[in-house]
Structure 1
């Protein structure tokens, strides 16, 4: 969880730092160069998932997560010594590698060490820690200069480096490597009971049944697991959250409210934290599907409201009396995104794939997500700079509505089911589809 806390700090960093890097500061960054600095995180996010796909089954889950500390350290050291926007670009690229890798591997790791009844709530903790990182960034960042903040931001990573060696390795990884004794000891530590023979037997059967899977099966299997994951990843990225978060300071000022924008953003993310906590409570009770769909449709509505406000402004309509409306919509937007669009992709990625395909599937999905996280903020910056704000918000709203409708049709429910039960459900769907096709022929 400390790694996601650090990730939250990294993601929120441009919003309170880039406005400071204007003429008169020790480092000046233009709007265009700032756009590239923001997009660098997504570029680094492409590398992280690829490394996960290639190395996950060789290094193990635990030590790969431990290694993500290195790019985080490089990020803050480069940020401290930066003399131009290029060093900041490289720093953001470095932290993007870690964030991309963590978004790929941590859901897999948590899904494999937790019991089905708490798997959703445990996975939703990522969103809570991200929000705590945002709150830390918006609360402390505006008060410190770039160099001091970089040093302070090294502390969570240092604590993680000291404490992470005591984390357990995944019993799935041990059993894949034929280390049954190590797997048994891990389960004793995790389940707090000595006899876990039934669970070990179940995991071994699951691993054995999946040995036939290949990389190409991700694209050819009728149950379309990969396309389901890509859909929820698209919902998470194409809602514009990364762009809106990165430029939130400027966005709030465009609402023409007589409030301190940093204070408003800090309060927004405190509320977002509460939303994430509620999500961790509801995601197992009501199911992944309900949480994702409610978040997706809610996001569409909020984006539309903000878009309408900027459209009225562009038409020279007096908006002074309703300037609080887009602010409320922005608050609700952050809340509903934190409630479902942020946590659900990580939960689903840890559940719907067989163990032998999980690394590759998560790699592909997160590479696609990182590409979108690189493109979307840059598109946001270009559209806002050269066109009108309402254009980008309406675009986000239309795309999100299409994703929500598609998810309503194809998104399965995986709540409170073991990995074996989930694979059986998806296999039944696969068998049913094949039977229907044969009857048609």
Structure 2
């Protein structure tokens, strides 16, 4: 017998508008939802092993970026005849002008990479975009195995740049979307660490094997990454939700969190809200100039990556072994280069431990001072290197200077400009800001590496390093005067600071 009365009108209970009673059936449904959310909040703990494995697999691409960045350091001395001239695959040694192009074509390709990535990252997803972006690495290193033409080496470096620029844009986005709030910072910092490990790989292996063997070894990591990532690692749940693939998003999140379907419902709901808000307020490039805060954010972002490149980092990365050969010290150039690479890896692993304790602003100031001091001392060594006393008693100064430079760069101006970029812009225009900033960064890197040889011929190698030191001093004042502290602040607080509502350093 049905005891319900159709003439009864259910009224909201005062003070309980959020439980507005319309019918017993609806009350039960709402109660079920609340119970489900409570179970999600205090139920399954899940696991993180698969998430860590997936992120490390994804970072094989950043390892390949590091290999490409360090590739020229052991290769150029072999191509210009300074080392093993009998094994040079080219018919004649390369000139200084060709060396500049070999170094600078990678950042030139990287200028275009972010724009290429922006065209398809939201259309085909993060996973497919990463796979496509990795393909030029495979093609480039295979090409380098067989080529005997300098022009094909130029093409190989340009392809590496395209891949690198795209990976720099897509991979941090993917890792940020699959990570949890509690480990997003540490997993994101692996990007810079794997790049440093890739650079160290080039420094350790390149000088001791033939050019052909080196290129074969370089192609292995991206070639292994391709099938593993394609077959076993899911796409970003954020992208799957944006494509209305509810089932795919659930399966991906269950795999990343190692939870049941019920255990991921609360996080899935939060992802849906985030994606809906982002799609409803999709920003455009012109939005970057619509407020004082966004203009200031863009100026800070472009300034940080400018000083990152003007510190001379790409000259150091591309020509480390050549620099040590020019110093004339008694320490073998290959050994000195490996020591610098090891220090860079160790220093890069310190940033996640320091940044939350000291703040980004302090670390960037420390970084600028250390880099400026290192470049100044390196320039001084080259200025007086013809003095026999200097060679006898200060043979250690070049390696000490580059160790100091790499430590202070790797903890500060290496990773932190990109971390600050992620905090300065609202989510709806972060993609546009990242594309512009990354492309500008690599354009500047191209110009610096391309003109380094000409500038060195004009003012001497010591003058070039002193010029980098001056830019590091300017970087100190830029950070001290213009950059607010972003660590420990919400995104809204950062926007308030940028818009001048209150000033906090």
TM-score, reference length from structure 2:
0.79
2:206 corresponds to 1:141? yes
What is the CA–CA distance in structure 2 between the aligned matches of 1:319 and 1:273, rounded to whole Å? 30
Structure 1 residues 247, 431: CA separation in 2 closer, same or farther (over 3 Å shift)? closer
1:191 equivalenced with 2:257 (yes/no): yes
Distance 1:300 1:370 in 2: 21
Match of residue 69 from structure 2: 11
Alignment: residue pair count:
430
User: How do 1:173-192 and structure 2 match up within 5 A?
Assistant: 173-192=239-258
Equivalence map 1:3-402=2 (5 Å): 3-21=61-79, 22=81, 24=86, 25-27=88-90, 28=92, 29-165=94-230, 166-193=232-259, 194-210=262-278, 211-212=280-281, 213-224=283-294, 225-313=297-385, 318-320=389-391, 321-402=393-474
- Separation in 1, partners of 2:383, 2:481: 32
Q: Indicate the residue corresponding to 2:23 in structure 1.
A: none
Distance apart, 1:374 and its partner CA: 0.8
Match of 2:28 in 1: none
Give me the whole-angstrom Cα distance separating, in 1, the residues matched to 2:173 and 2:424. 11
Contact residue 64 and residue 222 of structure 2 kept, 8 A: yes
Any gaps of 5 or more consecutive residues in structure 1? 437-441
The answer as to whether partners of 1:107 and 1:346 remain within 8 angstroms in 2 is no
Deviates more, 1:271-280 or 1:90-99: 271-280
Using CA pairs under 8 Å that are at least 6 residues apart, name the structure with larger relative contact order, 1 or 2. 1
Work out the CA distance in 2 between the residues paired with 1:69 and 1:327. Answer: 34
Name the stretch that deviates more: 65-74 or 161-170: 161-170
- Gaps (5+ residues) in structure 2? 1-58
**Closer, same or farther: CA 361–339 of 1 in aligned 2, 3 Å:** same
Q: Deviations over 1:76-127 (max 9, x none)?
A: 1221222221100000000000111111121222222223333222222122
CA contact (8 A) 1:313 1:319 kept: yes
Describe the SS at the equivalent of 1:257: coil
* Alpha-carbon shift at residue 205 of structure 1 (Å): 3.9
Is the radius of gyration larger for structure 1 or structure 2?
2
Alpha-carbon spacing, 1:402–1:198, altered in 2? closer, same or farther (3 Å): farther
CA contact (8 A) 2:330 2:395 kept: no
Aligned equivalents of 1:84, 1:184: Cα separation in 2: 50
Deviation readout 1:220-255 (Å, 9 max, x if unpaired): 332233223222222321211111221111211233
Deviation larger for 340-349 or 204-213: 204-213
Matched residue of 2:349: which SS?
helix
Q: Distance in 1 between matches of 2:293 and 2:167?
A: 26
